[in-house]
Amino acid sequence: MLFGFSSVFSQNKKVFTVILDAGHGGKDPGNSYHGFVEKEIALKTVLKVGDYLKNERNIEVKYTRTTDVFIELANRPKVANNAKANLFVSIHCNSVKNPAPHGTETFVMGLSRHDMNLEVAKSENSVILLEKDYKRKYQGFDPKKPETLIGLTMIQEENLNNSISLASGIQNNFTKKLNRSSRGVKQQPLWVLDAAYMPSVLIELGFLSNKTEGKFLNSNEGQTKMAKQIADAIIDYKRRYFGTGDSDSYEKDSNKKTTKATASKKGDSAGQIYKVQVLASPKKIKLVPGNFKGLKDISYEFLNNLYKYMYGSTSDFQEAKNLQLEARNAGFLKAFIVKVKE
């Protein structure tokens, strides 16, 4: 039952709820290098992200912690689940023994054999060992043994696709708007993401072990800049998947803007084409109906290291809405309409 829930229950909420999770805290300082302390940087950045989001209409922000307290790992996603949140965003800082590595990276739930990624998973999961009765609570999971990580899997298809979409937006903002070095979007078996019922990401702001990067992240300017880009990515995600909040849905809002165009038998001008995006994946998927819940007429585009798969193609917005309904009825419950050029 625990892992059988879908994020779909929160899709129709008028208020878009975001849970911000500042990694570590209290007796768990996280990474510490050159006088830079992860728990402090994560909290300050999280609070700044929250301040930006609170300025937006129809966004509710909740935190797992707002002070320097220890929060058990199992309780962090519970905050999001109890709130029936739309997103869970956990913020951390990286470190390694080598002072050279630098750059941001954002993780979604999944399995990887990459040694560096596995070290991140073990590090972020190891907080479990600070908790009382952790062996019973986590049912034998040992964060120091890679083989026990195999039990953590992302069980909800739409959650993973949407998590990747948000993670890509965050990384793109860091790179394009702040010129930060990007280590990309990666999948890892992180307990805090696995237990959340909604799209979730874990952001590593950079390496505290790199003195230059650590100094930037430890500064008010650095935290403000990073927070702004995270908030902007969340806001953009909300607009793409849930609309502006000024109408009941993205589709209704878009329909108001295209009434004249859709009334024309010729459809939109300037070669405007509508398609329905059903999923996004870092891997290329063979275009056969069996891979898309029986849907035919699937196309894709490769953008920002993601394959974006779309159903149908039409110049009529009303027909596009019908295609969207077909996609959702097939099982792609968060399928949304996108505009492309011929």
Q: What are phi and psi of 100, to 5 degrees?
A: -80, -45
Domains with residue ranges and CATH for the chain: 16-242 (3.40.630.40), 272-341 (3.30.70.1070)
* Distances in whole angstroms, Cα of residue 256 to Cα of each of 218, 231, 324: 46, 27, 17
Q: Tell me the chain's radius of gyration from C-alpha atoms.
A: 21
Residue with tokens 């702040």: 178
How many distinct helices (H) and strands (E) make up the chain? 11, 12
Q: What are phi and psi of 94, to 5 degrees?
A: -90, 170
Q: Are 336 and 241 in contact (CB under 8 A)?
A: yes
Q: Are 203 and 92 in contact (CB under 8 A)?
A: yes
Q: Please give the pLDDT value at position 156.
A: 45
b/e per residue 30-42 (b: at least 16 CB within 10 A): bbbbeebbbbbbb
Q: Please give the pLDDT value at position 31.
A: 94
Q: What is the DSSP letter of 25?
A: B
Q: Can you read off the two tokens belonging to residue 121?
A: 């998973």
Q: Indicate the Cα dihedral angle 42, 44, 47, 48, nearest 10°.
A: -110
Q: Please give the pLDDT value at position 280.
A: 86
Nearest CA-CA partner of 105 in 181, 45, 192, 25? 181
Q: Are 318 and 335 in contact (CB under 8 A)?
A: no
How many whole angstroms separate alpha carbon 210 and alpha carbon 175? 18
Q: Please give the pLDDT value at position 167.
A: 93
- How distant is the alpha carbon of residue 92 from its chain centre? 14
Nearest CA-CA partner of 94 in 122, 74, 65? 122
DSSP run (H or E) holding 225: helix 220-242
How many whole angstroms separate alpha carbon 311 and alpha carbon 279? 10
- Tens-binned pLDDT, residue by residue, of the chain (342 aa): 233 333 333 444 578 999 999 999 999 999 999 999 999 999 999 999 999 999 998 999 999 999 999 998 888 988 998 999 999 999 999 999 999 999 999 998 865 434 444 454 445 545 545 555 545 544 445 555 544 444 444 334 457 778 888 999 999 999 999 999 999 988 877 767 777 888 999 999 999 999 999 999 999 999 999 999 999 999 999 988 787 654 333 333 333 333 333 333 334 445 688 999 998 888 889 898 888 888 889 999 887 778 889 999 998 888 888 898 888 878 788 888 888 865
pTM of the predicted model, to two decimals? 0.63
- How many Cα atoms are found within 13 Å in the side-chain-facing hemisphere of 205? 38
